[in-house]
């Protein structure tokens, strides 16, 4: 039985990010989605939440995220 935690490298990375970490874009299934910052990760459902520049919320299964561009 699974504990809901993914073994995906992106999911593991998201678990280490602080809410409010600035990001530029998130690639989900190869499609670019603009984002301003990381909001949270629900480890039970593997859903990652990002706030987009227009204030909308981007929600994606972290297992389907290919890449995240993080501001440094």
What distance in Å separates the CA atoms of residue 1 and residue 58, rounded to the nearest whole number?
A: 29
- Check residue 4 and give its pLDDT: 54
Q: What pLDDT score does 41 carry?
A: 97
Going by their DSSP bridges, the two strands 47-51 and 37-42 should be labelled as antiparallel
Residue 65, token pair as written in the block: 């995220």
Asked if the model's pLDDT at residue 5 lies above 80, the reply is: no
Q: Is 64 helix (H, G, I), strand (E, B) or coil?
A: helix
For residue 26, pLDDT over 60 is answered with: yes
pLDDT score at 17: 96
* Chain centre distance of CA 5: 14
Q: Domain boundaries in the chain?
A: 9-70
Look at residue 36 and tell me whether its pLDDT is greater than 90: yes
CATH code given to domain 9-70: 2.30.30
When pLDDT is averaged across residues 48-58 and rounded to a whole number, the result is 96
CA 23 to CA 63: how far, in whole Å? Answer: 18
Which ranges constitute the DSSP H helices of 1-72? 9-16
pLDDT over 50 (residue 2): no
């Amino acid at each position: 039985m699974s504990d809901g935690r993914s073994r995906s490298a992106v999911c593991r990375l998201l678990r280490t990010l602080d809410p409010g970490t600035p990001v530029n874009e998130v690639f989900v299934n190869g499609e670019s989605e603009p984002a301003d910052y990381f909001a949270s990760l629900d480890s039970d459902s593997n859903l990652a939440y990002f706030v987009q520049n227009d204030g909308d919320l981007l929600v994606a299964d972290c297992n389907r995220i290919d890449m995240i561009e993080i501001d440094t």
